[in-house]
Amino acid sequence: MAKFLSLLKVQFLAFFGLNKALKSKGAKKVGKLSGLVGALILYTALFGFIGFIYSGIFAESLILTQGNADKLLPLMLAISALISFFFSFYTTTGALYGFKDYELLTSLPIKTTSIIWAKLAFMFISDLFFAVVIMIPSTVVYSQYAVLSVAEIVSVFVMTIFSPLLPMALSVLVGGVVAFISSLFKKKALVQIILWVVIFALIFAAGFFTGMEEEEMVDPTLFIGKAYFIFPLALAASKDLIQLLIFILVNLLPFVAVSLVVAATYKKMNGLLTRKRTVKNFRIRESKIVSKSGALLKKELKCFFSNATYVINCLLGSFFGIIGAVLMAIIVVIMTNDTGINASDMLTPFVPIALTFCYMLTPSTACAISLEGNAFWVTRTSPVSTMDILNAKLKVGIITYAIPAFLSGVLYGVIVGLNIIHLLVLSAFAFAVGLLGSVLGLLMNLLFPMMKWDNESVPVKQGAAVLLTMLCGMGYTGIMLLAVIFIPLPSIAVLLISLLLTAILVTLFYSIIYKKCDSLIAKKIG
Amino acid sequence: MLQIKNLTKKYAKDFKAVDDLSLTVAAGEIYGFIGHNGAGKSTTIKSVVGALDFDEGDILIDGKSVKTEPIECKSITAFVPDNPDIYDHLTGMQYINFICDLFGVGKERNELVKKYADEFELTQNLGDVISSYSHGMKQKLVLISALIHSPKLLVLDEPFVGLDPLASHKLKEIMKEFCAAGGAIFFSSHVLEVVEKLCDRVGIIKQGKLVKEGNVQEIIGDKSLESLFLEIQNG
């Protein structure tokens, strides 16, 4: 137990640079710890607020459609389980398998099961955070519609604690299979990316298209209610003690079983994942000569596509942006055909908000400098300027964010049949937002670089720059929402103003990067 | 070729990692830079190669200032760090091509790759991703990519760490050939025997200050470099 706790402690100390903050001195310590506590409070408040708003919307929809809000808590539990599934699946490689201190840990006098339990316990605590910040506001909202007894509150509390276990077990299992299959190929990262995209697409399709009726597509409750198909156990959330016990066992037993399977296959899996593949009879061939900027871009693209976590994290916004734009356009077309009312007039003003949210979420640039890590000396000692290095990173941002954003705008406009001017302005705005996300991410990474890490997943998922960019993106989405609601102008005029504002911000942030990059790198990186 | 003039680098208000350090390395010369851990060697070296800003003084490479003409200085300098951290996701060949592209090496690169890769016995591994390399193989790759763009100044930080005896021997030969062809080498090492045998001149740094400098034979006299070094450190 002591060894397990020590392993867990080490993980906590590494999380978000907690130990570095604790070991800093004076004002630095206060600043770092305040930043960490502030970020935690902000995240809790943000997710709690989102949970509160969505619970309210779902409760109202349930009252309208079913006469009561009894399914609210199971529905929110299902959503938190889905979040747990994605979060755990996402962290299986890097956090559970293929971490850099593997050799050190396995050489210590610790049982493999202790290592696994410590890794899984850390994942569980992270998942539990999401479950709690979703379920507390949901319970508060539910209590407005029904009288909750103490026993019911305790029951919800217990279910919240146990609810991440089954999704975790499933995701560890699926993540393990993905890791195993990809380990059989030379281009592991590429295979892993393809498998992840296939799995995401399958879950997405299963969740949103299974038996979907036209009216379900325009009713958010029924739309999200498809979560039942993915996590039917949420239906067990009731007032019955036996069902509660079943719920606990159904969550706990698969988790224990998967943990034991992982422990038994752990060394073999790590061996496969870290297996070195070599080329036999290599011959030096004529090399293609490229320009300095071409070489830097090529290197950035190779870095991007060599890391599955990086790709998935950064392309998530683009993926949802394109899919979302197409789905929204289809909804507009169906609603217009069914009701005869031009649904485009109602929904198109909100498209820029959705695009802003998707394309300012996790740009590749927000961790591109951090990912240089200890190898940053290579480009810094080469005859290229700092802006050449940063521009290459920005180009990857444009390729992965601004261009898909533009495409989202075009697809929406074409499917809905917007007039050419509206389509062009919308597409230009989408491009500008993708560019803003990338420039902002780069600036944030210049201000908050994380050059020391044990695993590439750390700067990608835990970097302050990534988190701050995400928060700024959410803030900008809020501004866009307020603009759409409160500016009493036609939607195209609001869009033009937003385009102008976005272009100004892009210019401003880029000029800061241009002027300050050398001094910021000297100050922040050394 | 290399002139360091009154270099000062502060890490905190009252901590000078390098304090008013001046030295010169002429073309055709191998300069050994020694000192205990934390003496300021790496800070000096990183300042020379443009990886670290400095507070006072100047560094000139072939008459050009690192501060005002960094790109020109970098294009004639090659750096080999103490730890060969490079891009693990690239293959050895891709890494060399990347460096060649940045330094503007033309079609002659293929001949040069073949020459140096054969000398360091790395040709067969150039198609493999760097993450599969051992420390020594990475070190060899960094050395090849340092030599391939024919720099005028070679800056090496602990270049022999991780190299097998054959590669160490080859590197020493290459260093001598490089200087014979008019290049200059500024290198740090804790292996004092190598420094004593290989270098024309040596500088000893202690707490950021250059405490002893000169022709190797002149400054050690009938002692060994090791005993002189220990004398200075304990003194």
The three state secondary structure string of A408-445 is: HHHHHHHHHCCCHHHHHHHHHHHHHHHHHHHHHHHHHH
Indicate the number of domains in chain A.
2
**pLDDT in the model for residue A229:** 47
Whether residue A395 is contained in a domain is answered as yes
Cα gap A401→A363, rounded to integer Å:
7
Question: Does A20 score more than 70 pLDDT?
Answer: yes
Residue tagged 């929110």 (tokens): A76
Q: Kindly state whether residues A236 and A302 are assigned to the same domain.
A: no
Contact A526 B109 (CB under 8 A): no
Cα gap A84→A131, rounded to integer Å:
8
Instruction: Provide the b/e sequence for B31-61 (b: ≥16 CB within 10 Å).
Output: bbbbbeeebbbbbbbbbbbbbbbbeebebbb
User: Nearest-CA residue of chain B relative to A523?
Assistant: B53
φ, ψ for residue A279, nearest 5 deg = -95, 130
Q: Is the dihedral of CA A196, A202, A208, A214 positive or negative?
A: positive
User: Nearest-CA residue of chain A relative to B109?
Assistant: A287
Cα gap A337→A339, rounded to integer Å:
6
C-alpha closest to that of A154 among A237, A90, A226, A74: A237
**pLDDT in the model for residue A230:** 44
B83 in contact with A at a CB cutoff of 8 Å? yes
Whether residue A338 is contained in a domain is answered as yes
Q: Kindly state whether residues A301 and A265 are assigned to the same domain.
A: no
> Could you read off the pLDDT of B159-177 as tens digits, one per residue?
988 888 988 999 999 999 9
C-alpha closest to that of A392 among B71, B102, B97: B102
Assembly ipTM: 0.89
By residue range, what is the domain housing residue A329? 291-526
Query: Within 10 A of A36 (CB to CB), how many other CB atoms are there?
Result: 17
A522 in contact with B at a CB cutoff of 8 Å? yes
Reported as a pLDDT band with limits 50, 70 and 90, residue A237 is low
Among residues A276, A299, A326, which one ends one of the domains? A276
A149 in contact with B at a CB cutoff of 8 Å? no
Structure tokens at B146: 């340092």
Q: Kindly state whether residues A268 and A333 are assigned to the same domain.
A: no
Sorted by where each starts, the structural domains of chain B and their CATH numbers stand as 2-76+151-234 (3.40.50.300), 86-150 (no CATH)
Contact B127 A279 (CB under 8 A): yes
Q: Kindly state whether residues A265 and A313 are assigned to the same domain.
A: no
Structure tokens at B177: 């050939």
Report the relative pairing of strands B64-65 and B56-61 from DSSP bridges. Answer: antiparallel
Q: Kindly state whether residues A302 and A257 are assigned to the same domain.
A: no
Considering CB atoms only, which of B72, B103, B114 is closest to A284? B114
Question: Does A52 score more than 80 pLDDT?
Answer: yes
Residue A309 amino acid letter: T
Q: Kindly state whether residues A258 and A348 are assigned to the same domain.
A: no
Q: Kindly state whether residues A376 and A503 are assigned to the same domain.
A: yes
A302 in contact with B at a CB cutoff of 8 Å? yes
Task: Return the ∠ at Cα B102 (arms to B96 and B106), rounded to 5°.
Answer: 75
Residue tagged 């160490």 (tokens): B168
C-alpha closest to that of A214 among A342, A123, A332, A43: A332
Residue tagged 């003039």 (tokens): B5
Whether the Cβ atoms of residue A438 and residue A365 lie closer than 8 Å to each other: yes
Whether residue A94 is contained in a domain is answered as yes
Q: What is the mean pLDDT of residues A179-206?
A: 80
> Could you read off the pLDDT of B97-129 as tens digits, one per residue?
999 999 999 888 989 999 999 999 999 999 998
Contact A377 B114 (CB under 8 A): no
Q: Kindly state whether residues A357 and A495 are assigned to the same domain.
A: yes
Determine the straight-line distance between the first and last CA of chain A, rounded to whole angstroms.
Answer: 41
Query: Within 10 A of A505 (CB to CB), how many other CB atoms are there?
Result: 17
Q: Kindly state whether residues A22 and A115 are assigned to the same domain.
A: yes
> Could you read off the pLDDT of A154-175 as tens digits, one per residue?
888 888 898 889 888 988 888 8
Chain A residues with CB under 8 Å of B126 CB are: 282, 284
Among residues A217, A245, A276, which one ends one of the domains? A276
> Could you read off the pLDDT of A347-399 as tens digits, one per residue?
888 889 999 999 988 899 999 999 999 999 999 999 999 999 999 999 999 99
C-alpha closest to that of B30 among B57, B2, B6: B2
Cα gap B45→B34, rounded to integer Å:
11
Whether residue A286 is contained in a domain is answered as no
SS (H, E, C) A236-302: HCCCCHHHHHHHHHHHHHHHHHHHHHHHHHHHHHHHHHCCCCCCCCCCCCCCCCCCHHHHHHHHHHH
Q: Kindly state whether residues A147 and A223 are assigned to the same domain.
A: yes
Reported as a pLDDT band with limits 50, 70 and 90, residue A179 is confident
**What percent of chain A has pLDDT above 70?**
91
Cα gap B204→B32, rounded to integer Å:
8
Cα gap A447→A227, rounded to integer Å:
39
Chain B residues with CB under 8 Å of A277 CB are: 128-129, 132
Question: Does A484 score more than 70 pLDDT?
Answer: yes
Considering CB atoms only, which of A292, A374, A375 is closest to B102? A292
Q: Kindly state whether residues A295 and A264 are assigned to the same domain.
A: no
Q: What is the mean pLDDT of residues A464-493?
A: 88
Torsion, Cα of A396, A401, A407, A411 (10° steps): 160
Whether the Cβ atoms of residue B60 and residue B23 lie closer than 8 Å to each other: no
Chain B residues with CB under 8 Å of A291 CB are: 101
Task: Provide the shortest C-alpha distance from residue B225 to chain A (in Å).
Answer: 31
Lowest mean pLDDT among A202-216, A381-395, B197-211: A202-216
Q: What is the mean pLDDT of residues A412-422?
A: 91
Report the relative pairing of strands B201-206 and B209-215 from DSSP bridges. Answer: antiparallel
Q: Kindly state whether residues A432 and A331 are assigned to the same domain.
A: yes
Cα gap A168→B193, rounded to integer Å:
57
Whether residue A43 is contained in a domain is answered as yes
Contact A374 B113 (CB under 8 A): no
Considering CB atoms only, which of B102, B107, B113 is closest to A295? B102
Whether residue A281 is contained in a domain is answered as no
Whether the Cβ atoms of residue A159 and residue A247 lie closer than 8 Å to each other: yes
Whether the Cβ atoms of residue A359 and residue A371 lie closer than 8 Å to each other: no
Cα gap A465→A450, rounded to integer Å:
8
Residue tagged 């071409």 (tokens): A294
Contact A381 B77 (CB under 8 A): yes
User: From the DSSP assignment, how many helices (H) and strands (E) are in chain B?
Assistant: 9, 10
